[in-house]
Amino acid sequence: MPYQYDLFVIGAGSGGVRAARMSARFGARAAIAEDRYLGGTCVNAGCIPKKLLVYAAHYAEDFEDARAFGWSDAKWDFDWRTLVANKDQEIQRLNDVYRNLLQTAGVELIHGRAVLQDQHTVTVGGRGYTAERILIATGGRPSIPDIPGQEYVISSDAAFHLEQLPGRIIIVGGGYIAVEFAGIFNGLGVDTMLLYRGELFLRGFDAETRRFLAEQMRKKGIKLLFNTNLTRVRREGSEYGARTTAGEVLWADTIMYATGRVANTTNTGIAELGLALDKKGAIIVNADYQTSVPSIYAIGDVTDRHNLTPVATAEGTAFARNQFSKQPMRVDYHNIPTCIFSHPNLATVGLTEEQAREQNLDPVIYKTTFTPLKHTLTKNPEKTFMKLIVDRTTDRVLGVHMVGAEAGEIIQGIAIALNTGATKAQFDATIGIHPTLAEEFVTMREPATP
C-alpha cells in the first residue's frame, strides 16, 4: 500500500524536529505536526527561557559583589515586564529558526493536533495523513495534584508569563524545576519559600551534594521546608493561604507547583490504538524506540526515561539513522551529564556515592569545599563543593559532582573524560588552569576521611 509519507512525526519539540530533519536529509518523505509551538517545552517553557531568567536573577548578587572590586554604587531598577518581553522576543526568534530548519530540510510542517487513527494513519483538523512509520514525540506537561484550591495555584509554564512579579511565593516540589525557580525568584527579590514532601530535595542526586546545595540556598535567603506538603489552598483578597500537613497556614501572593511532569499521551488516540503504557501513562518502547504497535515509535519525554533535551535530540538522531540511513547508532545512556541551574549551580556526571556502594564497587571519595577566589574580596558567603567517586580496584573515575558557579560548564568537559574511561591517575597527571574553580578537580590528592 502506498503511503503519503515515509515518516509522520507528532510533536515538533527537540526530539521530533531532529528526527524529521535528519530523516528527510536521508531521503525520507517526512511531515511533522504541532498544535502549540515549535521547539517544544525546551524552547518555549523550559531550558531556554528558564536559563534567561537564571541569568537575570544573578545580577542583583553580581551588583553587590562588584562593590568589593571598586565599582561605585549605582541605582539599578529591575522591571519584570521588560525581562518577559525580551525573553518572549528571543523565543519567537527560536521558533522561526526551527521553522526554517524544517523547511530547509524539506519537511512538511502541519499546524494542528494530530490524532492517531490506525497504525499508519493520523488526522489533523479532520484531514487524514498516511505514513509507513509514525513517530510520537509529544513530550510532557506539568502535573498538579488534585487538592482543594487547586484552581489558585500556577504551574511552571505559567510562571514564565506572570503579569507582575509577586512579593512572596511558595514553590512546591523538589526536582529541577522547583529548585531552579526558587533561585530565580529569590534572586529577583521575591520572598521565596520552597516546600518538599521528602527529607531532602533532588532525590537521586548525590546526597552529600544535595545537602551542600541546600545549605548554600539557605544562606541566600531561600526558606526551605522539607517533610512538608500542602493539603489545601484558599484565597483571601489578593493573598493565598496554604495549609501544610503540619496544620500551619503559610501566606503568599503566588503559589507555584513544580511537582513533576507527565507524558503527553491524552487525547492523541494512543489509548484507543492500544499502545502499551507504563503505570504513569508514558509510552513503553524497545531499544529501537518501537512501541507495541510495530509501525509506531516514540522518543523523548513521552517515554519518561531520561527527560533531558539533549537525550531527546540524540534519540531523534538515532531513530533517523536507524530507519533511513546505512549508519545505525545506539544512544549511550551511561554517564549522562546534567545540571541544576540553581543558585549556585549543581552539576553531575556518573555515579553518586550511594550508587557506587549499592553496586559494591568499593569507592574512594575525594572532595573539597572552598571559598572561590572571587568571593575572597566580597562578603558573599557562597562556597564551592567538588567530589570525585573513584573505583578503588580500577582507579577509574566513576562520578563527578559539583556545586558552584558555572558547574554545568565545567562538568560538560569532565563528562568527556568519564566517557573515555579516565582514571584518577590521569586526572592527577593533568595540569590545571590557574586560578580557576575547575583546576580543583585535578589537584585533589588525599581521599576524604571515612
At the fourth CATH level, the homologous superfamily of domain 338-442 is FAD/NAD-linked reductase, C-terminal dimerisation domain (3.30.390.30)
Q: Give the total residue count for the chain.
A: 450
At the fourth CATH level, the homologous superfamily of domain 150-259 is FAD/NAD(P)-binding domain (3.50.50.60)
Residue 72 pLDDT level (bands cut at 50, 70, 90): confident
- Is 343 part of the annotated catalytic residue set? no
Helix (H) or strand (E) holding 390: strand 384-391
- Residue 72 gets which letter from DSSP? P
| pLDDT at res. 449 | 80
Residue 1 pLDDT level (bands cut at 50, 70, 90): low
In tens, the pLDDT along 141-173 reads: 999 999 999 999 999 999 999 999 999 999 999
Helix (H) or strand (E) holding 24: helix 14-25
Angle, helices 176-187/207-219, rounded to nearest 10 degrees = 20
Lowest mean pLDDT: which of 73-82, 152-161, 187-196, 346-355? 73-82
Residue with cell 529548585: 179
Between CA 256 and CA 245 the distance in angstroms is 17
**Number of C-beta neighbours around residue 364 at 10 A:** 18
How much is the CA Rg of the chain, to the nearest whole Å?
Answer: 24
Between CA 425 and CA 438 the distance in angstroms is 17
Is the per-residue pLDDT at 442 higher than 80?
yes
From the list 153, 156, 224, 237, the residue with the least C-alpha distance to 186 is 224
Between CA 21 and CA 11 the distance in angstroms is 13
In tens, the pLDDT along 312-358 reads: 999 999 999 999 999 999 999 999 999 999 999 999 999 999 999 99
Residue 203 pLDDT level (bands cut at 50, 70, 90): very high
Between CA 115 and CA 82 the distance in angstroms is 38
| pLDDT at res. 450 | 73
Task: Provide, rounded to the nearest whole percent, the portion of the chain with pLDDT above 70.
Answer: 100
Is the per-residue pLDDT at 288 higher than 80?
yes
What the block records as the C-alpha cell of 307 is 527527560
Between CA 322 and CA 6 the distance in angstroms is 14
Strand 223-225's sheet: what is its strand order?
154-155, 254-257, 168-172, 191-195, 223-225
| pLDDT at res. 389 | 98
Q: So where are the chain's domains? A: 5-141+262-324, 150-259, 338-442
Residue 406 pLDDT level (bands cut at 50, 70, 90): very high
Strands (E), 39-155: 108-111, 114-118, 121-124, 127-136, 140-142, 154-155
| pLDDT at res. 258 | 97
Between CA 89 and CA 304 the distance in angstroms is 30
Mean pLDDT of 203-208: 98
Residue 73 pLDDT level (bands cut at 50, 70, 90): confident
Overall CATH class of domain 5-141+262-324 = alpha beta
Between CA 180 and CA 178 the distance in angstroms is 6
In tens, the pLDDT along 374-390 reads: 999 999 999 999 999 99
Is the per-residue pLDDT at 359 higher than 80?
yes
| Contacts with 339 (C-beta within 8 Å, 6 or more apart), sequence order | 345, 346, 347, 348, 407, 408, 411
Is-contact 399 338, C-beta < 8 A? Answer: no
Residue type (1 letter), 437: L
Task: Provide, rounded to the nearest whole percent, the portion of the chain with pLDDT above 90.
Answer: 97
Calculate the alpha carbon distances from 257 to 141, 168, 191, 447 in Å: 12, 14, 16, 40
| 338-442 matches 150-259 in CATH topology | no
In tens, the pLDDT along 89-110 reads: 999 999 999 999 999 999 999 9
